[in-house]
Structure 1
Amino acid sequence: MEISDRTMIAGHFHEPDTYVTKRPQGRNDWLITFTLGGEGYFVTSGKEQCCQAGDITLLRPGTPHQYGTRKGQTWHFVWTHFPAAFTETSILPDLDLLILSIESESIRERIFQAFIRILGDSRERGEYWHELCSSALREILFMMAQQTSRKVDARIEEILHILSVQMRQPIRIDELAKTVGLSPSRLSHLFKASTGHSIVDTLNRMRIQQAALLLEHTDRSASEVCYDVGFQNYNHFTNQFRKWFGVNPSTFMKEKR
């Protein structure tokens, strides 16, 4: 099949164990799959590799292969064929078949939603469908690259995500621990061992970094920014800001603006 520079097709399959695809010559485009449930397999260079829920696979153009549903299983997955010209693939390991296990639930959901956007835009074929699909695909590839370079425990990665999206809300260590199936003491120990900081210090650092950006690039007052980023006490905000930047928020704002 001849693949043009703009060819991008996607699908969402739920297949029984009779499902199999054989391509002894490979294809001249990339194939990326994300398993939602059940089990599938890929065979390249005579080696069979399994993929389960949370596994994302990337198959290089020109690679002879076979894939399908494992015997006695069903395979629920989303997939996309995309052009060989995608330069973002160069940031990933140079393998004929890359299989990554995504353990973080938030990353799994983000990848799935990106696939859903590709599915919708590639079918709708609006004026900018290819650009929208490409943007979602690049998001997936960058998340894959981040997974290959980041060595943080998936549970800690999940906590970091929760802190970032719920930055303005009060935190409870026991609730965070319950989310990732750890005791509060075990989570606190593992978090500091992984990041070098406590959970509270990490949250405060996120808040102060965001506060610094708001102080420098908006016309918000220091007291407004304090509450924007989640601090309930201005004195505490000032102390934390001085801890991380060496000056108080008002001085920082005057210097930057």
Structure 2
Amino acid sequence: MSEFMCFSAQENRTTIPGKLVSGRYRQPFGYRVKRSKGTKDFYLTMTLHGKGLFHNGHETCECPEGEITLITPGTPHYYGTPENTEWEFFWCHFVPKEDWLPLLQLPEAIKGIRFARFENAKEWQHLAGAFTSLIRYNEESHLFSERLAVNALEEILLLISKNVQETQHPMDPRVENTIKLISQHYKEPFNVPELAAMVNLSPSRFAHLFKIQTGESVMEMLNKIRLRQSKKLLETTSLTIAEIAEEVGFNHPFYFSRQFAAFYGTPPAFFRKHKLPTTN
């Protein structure tokens, strides 16, 4: 089965980080996607009929009708439709807001791939309705379409979290407090040992706990927070690139520009000039 998932599929292009994309597919046996290095965003699926097969390079799990699957950033993944079935599913690539992270703490099916099972038909239909709205808003192009799409995605994540709240472990308060701290003081030159000391953990234990709870390292999250703030400043102020870099906590404008281009797919100067749309 792993040979079907890994070796027979061609490598697919990675997604653009920060871009909210979604859709609904009905795929027969032979449909396969391969991203051996993972992506920088989360990937969510909701199986409507049939089942999908997921592989992380070492283990395999199924996502049958009534289940959702969430692939975390950086997880190598291979997925497709197994034999004797047709897989119909909703899907969505997204980068979460900081306050969404507790909603993503789902049980792990295999390493890097989380899941939730819906037994309540009414709740499942509610979730499907929210997913339908997300896709519709993503296809529209008007003043409020982007915000409506983000709101629909938040509703999806809230419904999933609500469904599993009795079985999932809540976010560790030490991780939650760290997220609040770096979100409010992102300009500060934080490092892992310093943050670990604030919550009375060793650096290695803190780094491991944070990664397990959020799906990314604390420095990756801090970098993402800084880049999001820099995007707002590019859109709403006349500050120079160097001033924005300093304002959000980057010591060197060149390094900031490289990080911005890697995250948003374009250098900050080009982004500002052309006012490129993003959902991040």
The normalised TM-score by structure 1 is 0.55
Find out whether 1:141 has 2:157 as its counterpart. yes
Find out whether 1:110 has 2:126 as its counterpart. yes
- Following superposition, the deviation at residue 100 of structure 1 comes to 0.9
Find out whether 1:28 has 2:40 as its counterpart. yes
Partners of 1:12 and 1:91 in 2: how far apart?
Answer: 23
Once the two structures are superposed, residues 205-224 of structure 1 have per-residue CA deviations (whole angstroms, 9 ceiling, x without a partner) of: xxxxxxxxxxxxxxxxxxxx
AA aligned opposite 1:139: E
**Identical-residue share of aligned pairs (%):** 29
Query: Which of 139, 144, 150 is residue 166 of structure 2 equivalent to?
Result: 150
Any conservation in 1 of the 2:36–2:78 contact (CA below 8 Å)?
yes
Alignment partner of 1:41: what SS? strand
Find out whether 1:99 has 2:115 as its counterpart. yes
Once the two structures are superposed, residues 220-257 of structure 1 have per-residue CA deviations (whole angstroms, 9 ceiling, x without a partner) of: xxxxxxxxxxxxxxxxxxxxxxxxxxxxxxxxxxxxxx
Partners of 1:41 and 1:129 in 2: how far apart?
Answer: 32
- Following superposition, the deviation at residue 128 of structure 1 comes to 1.7
* Change beyond 3 A, Cα 1:84–1:135: closer
Any conservation in 2 of the 1:28–1:84 contact (CA below 8 Å)?
no
- Following superposition, the deviation at residue 50 of structure 1 comes to 0.5
Once the two structures are superposed, residues 130-165 of structure 1 have per-residue CA deviations (whole angstroms, 9 ceiling, x without a partner) of: 2111111111111111122236xxxxxxxxxxxxxx
Partners of 2:51 and 2:94 in 1: how far apart?
Answer: 23
The normalised TM-score by structure 2 is 0.50
Partners of 1:86 and 1:29 in 2: how far apart?
Answer: 13
Q: Which has the higher contact order (CA 8 A, sep 6+)?
A: 2
Any conservation in 1 of the 2:29–2:81 contact (CA below 8 Å)?
yes
AA aligned opposite 2:64: Q
Any conservation in 1 of the 2:15–2:39 contact (CA below 8 Å)?
no
AA aligned opposite 1:68: G
Partners of 1:90 and 1:60 in 2: how far apart?
Answer: 14
- Give the unaligned 5+ runs of structure 1: 152-257
Q: Which moved more, 1:33-42 or 1:141-150?
A: 141-150
Find out whether 1:64 has 2:76 as its counterpart. yes
- Following superposition, the deviation at residue 44 of structure 1 comes to 1.5
Which portions of structure 1, spanning 4 or more consecutive aligned residues, are displaced by more than 6 angstroms? none
Any conservation in 2 of the 1:20–1:67 contact (CA below 8 Å)?
yes
- Give the unaligned 5+ runs of structure 2: 1-13, 168-280
Alignment partner of 1:18: what SS? coil
Matches within 5 A, 1:142-221: 142-150=158-166
Query: Which of 2, 5, 9 is residue 21 of structure 2 equivalent to?
Result: 9
Aligned-pair Cα RMSD in Å: 1.8
